[in-house]
Structure 1
């Protein structure tokens, strides 16, 4: 007799982390990385890697972000997790990067919302493994 599904190890949806760590202490870097790991653990997501921007730039393209976009088109990748929207860069850059992520069909999940960030509309409460280009939604820890 086969064990019930609840008794089998099941991998959660695959996500990749994104951190923007410009002039940040080693302790802060570790705390941010740990926050992504904990968020993924508590939401049953499989954190497969973390891409880190370490240089300040005004352009949306960077080695870390380009690498992130490359893995988002792989099969079975659910989305991107970041501590806050600011990890995508300043407002204009974050908006451009969000559009790039949306074009891959991946979800953008935020571990923490800032008080100034508007609450996203149309939150998806149950992860869907079926992605459609242009259907990305920003999800937060309250969803």
Structure 2
């Protein structure tokens, strides 16, 4: 008898993580990385890589450029971030969110603040 599907290892949708850790301690970096991995495990997503921004230069950052590059690969489902603030300050975050969406990828936010509406839910 074959085991149930839930008992077989399956490859979930491919996602990439993105962290903005400009002034974070090594412990904070490890905790945020672990939280993304756990979120992906719980939601049956395959975390294929993690892009980490450690400085705030003006303009484009190597980490975000690399993220956009991998989003062009076939079969990439989306990007997972702990909070929207990991995309940068508000104006930068809004622009980056639009750039991610233009690739066809989804933006998955692990923890939304109270004022951020969740798609599909009405108040």
Taking structure 2 as the reference length, the TM-score comes to: 0.90
The CA distance in 1 between the partners of 2:119 and 2:36, in whole Å, is 23
**CA contact under 8 A between 1:36 and 1:81: conserved in structure 2?**
yes
**Alpha-carbon distance, 1:5 to partner:** 3.1
Shift >2 Å, 4+ stretches: 1-8, 120-123
Asked which structure has the greater RCO (Cα within 8 Å, sep 6+), the reply is 2
Q: Provide the alpha-carbon RMSD of the alignment.
A: 1.5
5+ residue gaps in structure 2? none
> Which residue in 1 is equivalent to 2:102?
103
The size of the alignment, in residue pairs, is 121
**1:59-84 deviation per Cα after TM superposition (whole angstroms, max 9, x unaligned):** 2x210001001111111110000000
What pairs with 1:42-121 in structure 2 (closer than 5 Å)? 42-59=42-59, 61-115=60-114, 117-121=115-119
Q: Secondary structure of the equivalent of 1:78?
A: strand
Deviations 1:66-124, CA, capped at 9 Å, x for gaps: 10011111111100000000000000000110011011000000111123x4213337x
Cα distance in 2 between the residues matched to 1:52 and 1:43: 22
